Amino acid sequence: MGGTFDYFGELSHPDYTEGLTEEQLANRNILREAMIRHGFKPLDTEWWHFTLENEPYPDTYFEFNVSAESVGSDVK
């Protein structure tokens, strides 16, 4: 993807291209287009950050523990 998750420098901007390979740029674009198509809006400073456009609970912060068991995963 051309950068690490949660790196907040200019490299993380979706329109940043310097030093990125064509594959990295294509991967960023695939993610962006898929998320937009399914109702998410992108943040213009982070290639990985999207917000649900029609958020049903925009003023609610959900805080709960997630474990492999809680999502039905066999991963330990």
Q: Look up residue 50 and give its amino acid.
A: F
Q: Which pLDDT band, with edges at 50, 70 and 90, does 3 fall under?
A: confident
Share of the chain above pLDDT 90, in %: 54
User: What is the number of other CB atoms lying within 10 angstroms of the CB of residue 4?
Assistant: 10
Query: Mean per-residue pLDDT for 47-71?
Result: 87
Residues identified as active-site: 46
Confidence check: pLDDT of 75 > 80: no
pTM for this model (two decimals): 0.71
Question: For residue 73, what pLDDT is reported?
Answer: 66
